[in-house]
Chain A
Amino acid sequence: MMLEVRDVRKNFDGLQVLDGISFDVEKSDVVAILGPSGSGKTTLLRCLNFLEKADAGRIVLDGRQADLNRATKAEIAALRRKTAFVFQNFNLFLNKTVLDNVTLGLTAGAGMKKTEAREIAVEMLEKVGMADKIASYPSQLSGGQQQRVAIARALASRPEIIFFDEPTSALDPELIGEVLTVMRRLAEEGMTMLVVTHEMSFARNVSSKVLFLEGGRITESGPSKEFFSNPKEERTKAFLRSIEYSKES
């Protein structure tokens, strides 16, 4: 098992955002996390990477165990070395070039030699089709290009799993495709991914598993094919119908 998540709880000012979330992710799984807005999807992802401190919960990632509430700095650092995070708003380092955005974690973080880090960065940037923009600054790139650089930055540390937090939600419609294409290619290469998304086409065609979150709980989960063709829960059916409807209108 790549990732085991057990009983994650998080309360914001009296609102139970996560109410006991448990699930498993196997190696090379691409898990789409779906659900209405405010259902806790993003918070879940942020808790798993310690960007938010959960009230309770445990994870086992690639054999390494941690308590989401009480992990020490060293435990958090060790777990983060195995993960990478792609944000909705890209969050590239604005004062760094594309190349430095990708190498910074390797050099300043992992203490790698510059030349070695550069080689890895170029390889990853080629993978996302951004190798020709090595010297550009983030502000000179489109949203789609920035997100592809962010994915290259995530890949550079050779993570066991990548968390994607609504990676296409901040993009203009015509730029969504290029990012989804890159993600689909990663999925085909066997990268383990956990993706919070509103892109039903991605969830349906690329992801292997779906978790449906509502009110801080997983109300339905299973293989994507089954989830879309034969949803069990009434609420899931309603959600899927509403999406179909909005697509048609």
Chain B
Amino acid sequence: MNERLWSILVESFPKLLGYGIRVTVPLTVFSFSIALAVALLVALIQYAKVRGLQQICRFYIWITRGTPLLVQLYIVFFGLPSLGIKLPAFTAAMLVLGFNEGAYMSETIRGALEGVSRGQIEAGYCVGLTFPKIMWHIALPQAFRTAFPALGNSMISMLKETSMAATISVMEMFRQAQVINGRVYESLGLYLEVALIYLLFCTFLTFLQRRGEKRLSGYGGKNS
């Protein structure tokens, strides 16, 4: 490797990492929080078969899963201003990522909820619990445990998808790599470098996921 490239990479590494920590990670955390909230709500509405709202949820999932993330980003950031809705790039990316992944996660959570035995729900009614309380104390904790590995996967793909925000001018890690490359023309080196940092982040998330799964295997894991 020549000296010029090496010094470029050494110099850009802390810069890229800095953008990763200050922008990519918060964007992932905020988007994931939105996605989780949306997914929980949508899953519960579907599980409880709330008339009217259920149809709206299905429509949302249909639209969101059936159109590309990139197109959704463009519609919200470049398209909505013509209706008078102007969102800052970071906000737009956060909302689109959140609602996009939320559609997938809602199906994960709904599936996990369906997996909680009907009998436990009936037993809940019989001991005098209301539907929300049965959800809170019995169904959701068990569903969360089932859904946890899949939700971890969602978070990992979301972290990588934040790079799409570069296309709507969010100055995140990948956009920063593009900017540096625009000055020095070292595409291979710089993009491999930024890939490595994504890999580091994802490895850390995988580690967290494993630890989480271990902690969640609390109740009667051995015999069940």
Contacts and interface: CB of A to CB of B under 8 A. Distances in A.
A49 B123 contact: no
A241 to B, nearest CB: 34
Interface string B98-137: 0000000000000000000101101111111110010001
Contact of A139 (B125, B126, B141, B223): B223
Contacts of B137: 93, 96, 104, 108
Given A108-B133, A138-B220, A95 B142 contact: yes
Contacts of B224: 94, 139
The size bracket of the interface on B is 20 to 34
Nearest to B144: A95
Interface stretch (A62-70, A80-88, A200-208, A226-234): A80-88
Contact of B142 (A94, A109, A140): A94
A136 B222 CA distance: 12
B127 A91 contact: no
A92 B125 CA distance: 12
Contacts of A136: 220
A1 interface: no
Interface string A127-148: 0000000001111100000000
Nearest to B127: A105
19 contacts: A80-B126, A80-B128, A81-B128, A84-B126, A85-B126, A87-B122, A89-B117, A89-B119, A91-B119, A92-B120, A92-B123, A93-B124, A93-B138, A95-B138, A104-B138, A105-B127, A108-B129, A108-B137, A136-B220
Top-3 shortest CB links A-B: A105-B127, A139-B220, A137-B220
Interface of A: 49, 51, 77, 80-81, 83-85, 87, 89, 91-97, 104-105, 108-110, 136-140, 150, 153, 156-157
